[in-house]
Structure 1
Amino acid sequence: MFRRALRLCSELAALAALWWVGGWIAQLTGLPVPGGVIGLALLLVLFACGAIRPALLQGGAGLLLAEMLLFFIPALMSLLDYGPLLRSEGWKILLVIMSSTVLVMLVTALSVEWMCRWRSSRG
């Protein structure tokens, strides 16, 4: 039990360190990209070059994903302050959210398909 908790804490610390390093890089370079996005890019590079195996961070990432709703509750509660805006412009906001979601899904699917074809042609 203690060993499992220690492993989980170390995985969460590693993920937080990547987030912190990403924020530091964003601040240092002045990039208009959130530090978390840069941290995820660093994690992807570490996975791609084999420096870190995804299984090493699986427990911490799983915990964060399981508790993801806690990260969104403050944002959802702040919507209550903007009732008049949502009543007048809500359909436009919903349209942007829906179209951007479809666009992200489409680009992700095409990227995965392209990568699978590229890898199968190499090997």
Structure 2
Amino acid sequence: MIGAIALLLVCQLAGEAIHRLTGLPLPGAVIGMVLLVGWLALVRKERPTLEAVTGWLTAHLSIMFVPAAVGLIDEGAALSRYGVGIVVATVISVLLTLSVTALVFRWAVRRFGPDEQEQA
């Protein structure tokens, strides 16, 4: 388990380092995730241990939001000034994301899904 946690942290750190050293327009976490996928493609024996660790992390995901929520307390002045705009922008972006996702899904099912004649 410690090895899997270390692997996650090393990939995160390597992604952040690559981001800062190269100036790539991708967040370090995304670069780290690509590194992790590459590692898992090369070393298949890591998967069962990593699945156990990520399952535990996902089950306790709400704990991960505590630092972010505490950080919001320090931003009271900014939230009181821009809070309504932030909420409106969040709601609009969620609705747009849901709509685009639904439209792309419907298009993909029509385009790549089984034909009605094949189902009968």
With structure 1 as the length reference, what TM-score do the two structures score? 0.62
8 Å CA contact 2:4–2:46 kept in 1: the answer is no
Task: Find the counterpart in structure 2 of residue 42 from structure 1.
Answer: 35
- In structure 2, C-alpha distance between the alignment counterparts of 1:114 and 1:50, rounded to whole Å: 36
Q: Deviations over 1:35-87 (max 9, x none)?
A: 21111123344556885775441111122223333332122122223334323
- The two structures, once aligned, show a CA RMSD in angstroms of 3.8
Q: 1:28 to 1:89 in 2, by over 3 A?
A: closer
Q: What is the rounded CA distance, in whole Å, between the counterparts of 2:106 and 2:75 in structure 1?
A: 40
Q: Secondary structure at the match of 1:61?
A: helix
Return 5+ residue gaps in structure 1 as ranges.
Answer: 1-7
Letter in 1 for 2:65: F
- Give the aligned partner of residue 90 of structure 1: 83
Q: Distance in 1 between matches of 2:43 and 2:112?
A: 17
Map residues 1-123 of structure 1 onto 2, 5 A cutoff.
Answer: 8-46=1-39, 54-105=47-98
Residues of 1 paired with 2:112 and 2:47: CA distance?
A: 19
Work out the CA distance in 1 between the residues paired with 2:109 and 2:48: 21
Structure 1 residue 102 displacement after superposition: 3.9
Gaps of at least 5 residues in structure 2 are 115-120
Conservation of the 8 A alpha-carbon contact between 1:11 and 1:60: yes
The Cα of 1:108 is off from its aligned counterpart by 5.8
- Figure out how many residues of one structure are paired with residues of the other and give that number: 114
Q: TM-score, normalised by structure 2?
A: 0.64
Q: Helix, strand or coil: the match of 2:13?
A: helix
What is the one-letter code of the residue matched to 2:94? T
